[in-house]
Structure 1
Amino acid sequence: MPQTILIIDDDKDIRNLIEVYLVNEGLNTLKAENAIEALRLLEYHDIDLIILDIMMPEMDGIEACMKIRMERNMPIIMLSAKSEDMDKIQGLASGADDYLTKPFNPLELMARVKSQLRRHNKYNDSKSIELNNNRIEIDELVIHLDTRQVFVQEKEVHLTPKQFDILAVLANNRGIVFSIQKIYEMVWREDFSRSDNTVMVHITNIRNKIEYDSKNPIYIKTVWGVGYKI
């Protein structure tokens, strides 16, 4: 059954352009001209991936992404006319899985869509990362690998798919130091670029959610010059 992609952009021409390329790839599409409409569509349709513009009226893509991430874990690719690193970091921090700057090459967007769908399908099939147990307990941190839930002091913490996979890799290999490159290659399943700070951004976001004091973490430790460990 074809997978369904939700396109959220206030520019009708961009929505239609993306739709043409997705349909040519054999994918179904739904379109929304703003985040409010998109959130309504999510209530009534099964969506496999979201393409989300950042600059929109009423509710921007950052806020929309955060709202979506409160309940759903499908991949989100953000589009933005801004190319600065801080804008990319803000997009990833809100829960996006990938980020593409406008104007973009539609073929590159299609490649990223297919890559995200492959990874997400692997995660759902519990094949993306080899994990040995269904439950990991580290002090007051509890990770349920089968249901992909995380609890701190018995209170559930909501992580994005990438955040969960990074935490699972570290927790299932407690005491072992993983380099940024190793983490990236295990979770993203692609070659690492040394200029890419994606892993660092995700580690920061995980700490903000599971640590009592993210500046003095007790779970995810930094081994300076080497990488991270639990």
Structure 2
Amino acid sequence: MPVKPPPELNHELIQDEDPNAMINYTDAIDYWSSVPASVNGVLGGFGEQTSVPKADIVGSATFLRKLQTRMECQPGFEKLTIDMGAGIGRITRDFLWKVSDRCDLLEPVKPFVEQMRKELVPVAEKGKLGDIYDIGMQEWEASPEKKGRYWLVWCQWCVGQLPDEELVKFWIRCKEALMENGTIVVKENIAPQDDIFDATDSSVTRTDAKFRQLFASAGLKLIASDIQKGLPRELYPVRMYCLKAM
């Protein structure tokens, strides 16, 4: 789920008593497999011809820079990051490799994975590309050799593809994957009043209150939060959350 316009501008958005019940993984994969494997495709038409990609990366870099003293890596460990729902690898390509020693990526849409391998050749040449997992978040669990070793888990514009219950389970697995003092960053669109289902990509846009509720259910402590600046006004607000294990 990329940047999106709010409900009054998008007639495919549906408010329902239980938006979670409407999420369908197959529908989501079918939709994302049908869009171009490009920045414009993964960002829902707000690609490099707009201000969105650059503003997004600048906002993420600024957010992490403010958190440097709270993200110290454990001695003897590498700064291992995993980019969840990574699309074609845009965030790793433009940002995450610069702050990490090595980057793993997870993406279930096969055309995106194929393009990702091309986009990340320069990252691989720098020795910073780790493993690529072509599975969904609901299927992922850190391998035994990586459990407890991740410095950063980055979840951006992807967790709306999971229902609440599955999302909590996913974040618990993310928490178990972290090294001591490891960090989870969640960066997502924010619904203004109630959770909203989007039939286009079979996803849910959640409220800030719902995110905070789900963080607590997963045993995650909210350390910092900020609003992404510089996005077009017609889009949902985007909020960044920094989380640690309780």
The TM-score with structure 1 as length reference comes to 0.32
Q: Which has the higher contact order (CA 8 A, sep 6+)?
A: 2
Structure with bigger strand share is 2
The TM-score with structure 2 as length reference comes to 0.30
Larger Rg: 1
